[in-house]
Amino acid sequence: MTGAAPVPEILRRPSGGRASSLPLMGRDAEPGIFELSSAGRHGFSFRATEVPEWTAEELVPASHLAPQPPALPEVSERDLVAHASRLASRNYSIDHGAYPLGSCTMKYNPKICDAVASLPGLTGCHPSQPASQVQGWLALLAALERDLSEVTGTAAATLQPAAGAQGELTGLLIMRAWHSWKGRAPTKVLIPDSAHGTNPASVRMAGYEVVDVPSDARGLVDLDALRRVVDSDVAGLMLTNPNTLGLFEADIEPIADAVHAAGGLLYYDGANLNAILGRVRPGDMGFDIVHLNLHKTFATPHGGGGPGAGPVAVTERLAPFLPGPLPRQVAGEEAGTTERYRWVMPERSIGRIHGWHGNALVLARAYAYILANGGDGLRHAAECAVLNARYLKERIRGAYDFPFDGPCMHEFVASSAALRRAHGIKALDLAKRLIDEGFHPPTMYFPLIVEEALMVEPTETESPQTVEALARALIAVATEAAADEGAAARSAPHSTPIGRVDEAAAARHPRLTWSP
Amino acid sequence: MAHFVPHTEAEIEAMLGFLGLESLDQLFDHIPAAVRLATGLALAPGRSEADVLDHMGELAARNRPCGTGMGHDRLVCFAGGGAYEHEIPSAVSALARQSAFLTSYTPYQPELSQGVLQALFEYQTMLCRLTGTDVANASLYDGASAAAEGLNLAAAATGRRLVWVSEGVRPAARAVIATVCGPRLEIREAPLVDGVTAWPNDLGEPAALLVAYPNYLGALEDVAAAAEWAHAAGALLVADADPVAAGLLHPVGALGADIAVGEGQPFGTPLAFGGPYVGLFAARDARFVRRWLPGRLVGEGKDASGRRAYVLTLATREQHIRRAGASSNICTNQTVVAITMALHLAWLGPAGLRELALRCARGARYTREALLAIRGVEMATPAPTLYEFAVRTPRPAAIVLERLAEDGFLGGLELEPDYPELGQALLVTVTETRTRADIDAFAIAFEKAVA
C-alpha cells in the first residue's frame, strides 16, 4: 500500500496549524465571577431620557414587586473585561489552530462573514417588521434557499431550524405529514447503527419507533438486512452519506429503491455534506429530505456549542409541507420594476419550527460564504477536504488500524484497539496526549461500531503542512505509548491550564451552580 | 474567488503523488457514476471579499432597520413582543466577539475548554438566580423551543400527555409548541379574560400548565395562583419568564413555578431579524435533572491534581449517549449567545438590572399616558402591565403601523390576527432606549395615524 511512500519535501515545511505555542499562562484557576464581586460595585450606565422618575412602588402592584433584584455579581466593567479575557485565553478555538473533530467539520470561519453579520442594516431589523420594510432580508433568505436547493439537488427549503437536530425533527415531521396526507400511518424509521445519536432521539420526538439497520463488513449499510426490515410500516430511512465512518454508501441507488418501493422516504443527514459539495447531490441520490449544518459545511462559527443553523431542503412533492412562512418573490404586475418578496405559508405546512425566521445572522454568514466561494469554490473545498483526509489516513497507516478500510471521503475512523490490547492504553489517552503535541483531539469513541475509535476530519482549510504535522503527531503519540506503555499518555495532557478531569466524580456529586 | 483553501497546485500534486493518484477527480472514482454531478453547481462564480461586502451591503440597504443616532432611514422602535431593542454595552459586544468563544466547538475536551465551560457555569448560576430555580442548562435554541422542551419535560416527569397552554403565551411560540409537541402531547389552550389567563375549572389530568409572566399582552399574570392550580391537579407549572422584568418582579421559582423558560435576547443580542437568540431553561427541583433535563449541563469538579475544573456533566440524559432514550434531541445549542447574556447581566449587576427594568416601566407608563390622551385610544385590557401594553385604536392596527412608519416609527405589533376578540389593537413596547423626546414625537405621530 502507499503508506510506505516517501513524504514529499514540500509537505515537510513548518506548519501553521499547530498550537503548541499557545500561551495559556499560569497555573491558578480563574476566580468565578461571583468571587470577584464586591457589594455595591457596578459597571452600568444608562442614557438620560428625561422620562419622569416614578418609583418601583408606583409602577408595579405590590403583590408582584420583588423586595430586591436577583443576586447577580457586582463587578466593575474593567474587572469583567479582564475576567472574560482570561477565560478566553483558557479556551482553544479554530482561530488558534487545527481542530480535526470527525463529523464536526471545524473549518476556518472566514472573517468576511463576521463583517457581514454586523451590518447595521441586518442587525437592526425587528423580526416582526412588515415585509415591505425588510425586503433586503427576504431577498437574502430567498437567495440562500435557492442556493442550498441547488447544492442539495432539491426544490425548496426552510431556513427556520436553529441547528442540525432541529432540522432532523423538522424533516421527520415533514415525513409524517406527507404520509398522513397520503392516508398512511407508518410507525417506524430505519437508522444505520453508525448514525449520530441525534437521529434516534429525533425519531422518538417525532413520534416514531427506531429500527436499527446493521452495517456490513465494509462499514456500509447491509443491503440484505435493510431489505429484510423494509415494509409498509416504515416511514423512511435516515442516512448520512458519506457515513460516519467517512465511507460513501455506494449502494445508495438500491437502498433508495428499496425504501421508495415500500412507500418510505429517504432522509439525508447533512453532517457530512462537506465531502461531496459540487460532486454529488443528495437529491440526485434519491433523497427526499435533506438537512444541512451551516455551522459545519458553510463555515459559520460554532460559538463554543452554538448557534448553528439546520435548514431543511426537500424535493418538489414535499415542498407544500415545509414549515413557513417562506419568502417568495411577488410575481407579475404586482411586482413592479424591482424584485419584491412577501411571506407565504406553504399549502400543507407542518407549521412553525422557530419562534421567528431562524438564526438569521447565521444564515447571512452562510450566504456570504457561498457568494465568496461560488460553485467552483465549494467544489474545490470538497476536493481538498477529501484529499487532506485521504493523505492523513495513509500517513498514519501502520500506527493505527482501520477496521473499515474503504477509500475515505472527508474523514476516517482509526482504531487504537491494538494498543489497548497490548498495553491497556485507551483512545482517550492518545487523544489527551495529542493536546501536548499542539493539536485538538479528534472525535473519540464514535461511531459506536469501532473499538477505541478516533474519528479524524482535518477539513480543507488546514494546509498540507499542517496535515503532515498532524500525521506526525498522531504517529508520535502512538509510538510513544507503545514504547513507554502509556506512561506519558495516561497522565496527559501536561501542557494545559488544568489536567485531566475526574468526570465520574463530577457526575456523582453534581455541582451545577456557584455557591460560596 | 475566495482563498479559504490554502493548497497550491504543487502541494496538491505532491499529495496526490503520495497517494498514487493523478487527479482530484480520482478521489471520487469509487462513487457510482449515476449519482455523480456531471456539470458544476449552477451558482455564481466566487467573488472577492470586497465584492461580497458590497453585495451584502446592498441587500442590507433594502431594509429599514431600527435604531437611533445613526442617521439614515432608521425607525424608532416601539415594537417588542418577544424581540427587544435594548442598549448593548460596548464591553459586552467586544467580549462576546472574542474568537476563543466565537470559533470554538462544543467543549467536549475540558482541558482545552475551561473558558467556555466556566462562562457557561456562571451563566447557569445567574439564570438560576434570575428565575429563583436550582438548576439551569447551558441554553436551548430560543424562547419558543425552550417552552416546548419545558412541556416535554413535564410530560416525561408526570407520565401524562395533556398540557394546558395559556393564550397569553406568544402566538408564534404556541405555533412552535403545536409543531414540536403535537405528535406526542395533547395541547389545549386556556383563554385570556381581561388580559390574564382563565384556567378552566376542570383541568383533567394535565402534565403541565404553561403561563407567560408578563404575558404577550404585557399583563402581569397571577403565577402563584397558577402554580397552586397546577399542583392541585398533579401538574407542573412551566413559566415563560421575561428576564428583563425579573429586575422588578418576583422570580417565578419563588412563585411556585417548577420550570422556568424564556428568551435571553434582551441581554446583549441585537434584534437581528429574530436570531440567533437564546432559549432559557431552568428547573426548581433537582429531582428532574438526572433523567429529564434537556440539553447540556456544566458542572464544577476537580482535575487529577485537585485543581478546580469545569466539565460537561450528567451526559447520560443526552442523545449522544442515550440515543433513542434521550431526554431531548438537542446537540448544538446557543452557547455564545448565552455567554453574551451572562456578560451583560454581570455588567448590570443587581442594581443595574433593577434600574433597567425600572426605566422600561417608566417609559411605558409615560407612553401609555400619552397615547391614552388621544381620542379613541384606550387600553385593550384592564390588567396591570409593566413595559408592554395593548391599546385599542380607532383604525385598523395595520394602517396605524403603516402611517407611523411613514413618520419614522416602528409603532408596535398588530394584535388582531391572533386576538380577534381585542378588535383593532396594537401591542406597544417601551424599553430604556426611548427618551422623552422619542415618546413625545411618537404620541404626535400616533394621533395623526389614528385620525
A307 touches A362 (CB < 8 A): yes
Chain-chain contact of A92 with B175 (C-beta, under 8 angstroms): no
Contact A54 B296 (CB under 8 A): no
Separation between Cα atoms, residue A113 and residue A318, nearest integer Å: 31
Which of A201, A307, A386 is the closest to B276 by Cβ?
A: A307
Residues 302-321 of B with CB under 8 A from A: 302-305, 307-309, 311, 313-316, 318-321
Residue contact A10–B402, C-beta within 8 A: no
CA distance B93 to chain A (A): 11
CA distance B239 to B195: 17
| Bridge partners, B206 (sequence order) | B162
pLDDT on residue B291: 81
What is the number of residues in chain B? 451
Of the partner residues B27, B82, B119, the one whose CB lies closest to the CB of residue A383: B27
Interface of B with A in 78-137 (CB under 8 A): 79, 81-83, 85, 87, 89, 91, 94-95, 97-116, 118-122, 124-126, 128-130, 134-136
**Chain B residues inside the 8 Å CB shell of A71:** 129, 350
At residue A23, the pLDDT reads 60
Chain A contact for B39, CB < 8 A?
A: no
Q: Identify the residue among A79, A205, A211, A411 best suited for mutation to test binding to B, counting B beta carbons within 10 A and taking the highest.
A: A205
Distance from CA of A52 to the nearest CA of B (A): 7
pLDDT at A2: 46
* Residues of A in Cβ contact (< 8 Å) with B45: 374-376
Chain A, chain B: beta-carbon pairs less than 8 Å apart: 734
- Copy the grid coordinates of residue A176: 409524517
pLDDT tens-digit profile of A123-176?
Answer: 999 999 999 999 999 999 999 999 999 999 999 999 999 999 999 999 999 999
**Secondary structure of chain B in the HEC alphabet?**
CCCCCCCCHHHHHHHHHHHCCCCHHHHHCCCCHHHECCCCCCCCECCCHHHHHHHHHHHHHCECCECCCCCCCCEEECCCCCCCCCCCCHHHHHHHCCHHHHCCCCCCCHHHEHHHHHHHHHHHHHHHHHHCCCEECCCECCHHHHHHHHHHHHHHHHCCCEEEEECCCCHHHHHHHHHHHCCCCEEEEECEECCEECCCCCCCCEEEEEEEECCCCCECCCHHHHHHHHHHCCCEEEEEECCCHHHCECCCCCCCCCEEEEECCCCCCCCHHHCCCCEEEEECCCHHHHHHCCCCCEEEEEECCCCEEEEECCHHHCHHHHHHHCCCCCCCCCHHHHHHHHHHHHHHHHHHHHHHHHHHHHHHHHHHHHHHCCCCCEECCCCCECCEEEEECCCCHHHHHHHHHHCCEECCEECCCCCHHHCCEEEEECCCCCCHHHHHHHHHHHHHHHC
Q: How much is the pLDDT for A1?
A: 42
Task: Say yes or no: B156 contacts chain A, CB-CB below 8 A.
Answer: no
Work out the number of other CB atoms within 10 angstroms of the CB of residue A31: 14
Determine, for residues A90 and B118 on separate chains, whether the beta-carbon distance falls below 8 Å: yes
- B307:A29 CB<8 A: yes
| Closest in A127, A163, A506 to B331, CB measured | A163
Who among B52, B62, B322 is closest to A368 (CB)? B52
ipTM for the whole complex: 0.97
**A327 three-class SS:** strand
> Nearest-CA distance from A483 to chain B in Å?
24
What are the residues facing B390 on neighbouring strands? B427
Digitized pLDDT (tens) for each residue of chain B, 451 residues in all:
568 999 999 999 999 999 999 999 999 999 999 999 988 999 999 999 999 999 999 999 999 999 976 555 799 999 999 999 999 999 999 999 999 999 999 999 999 999 999 999 999 999 999 999 999 999 999 999 999 999 999 999 999 999 999 999 999 999 999 999 999 999 999 999 999 999 999 999 999 999 999 999 999 999 999 999 999 999 999 999 999 999 999 999 999 999 999 999 999 999 999 999 999 999 998 777 778 899 999 999 999 999 999 999 988 878 887 888 887 888 889 999 999 999 999 999 999 999 999 999 999 999 999 999 999 999 999 999 999 999 999 999 999 999 999 999 999 999 999 999 999 999 999 999 999 999 999 999 999 999 9
- Using CA atoms, how far apart are residues A331 and A319, in angstroms rounded to an integer? 19
* Shortest Cα–Cα distance, B256 to chain A (Å): 13
Residue holding cell 476530519?
A457
Q: How far apart are CA B361 and CA B383, in angstroms?
A: 15
The Cα B322–Cα B324 span in angstroms is 6
- pLDDT of the residue at B73: 77
Task: Answer whether A60 sits within 8 Å of B248, measured CB to CB.
Answer: yes
pLDDT score for B49 = 95
B345 touches A: beta carbon within 8 Å: yes
- Which residues of chain A register pLDDT less than 50? 1-2
Asked if the Cβ–Cβ distance from B351 to A2 is below 8 Å, we say no
Closest approach of chain A CAs to the CA of B447, in angstroms?
A: 20
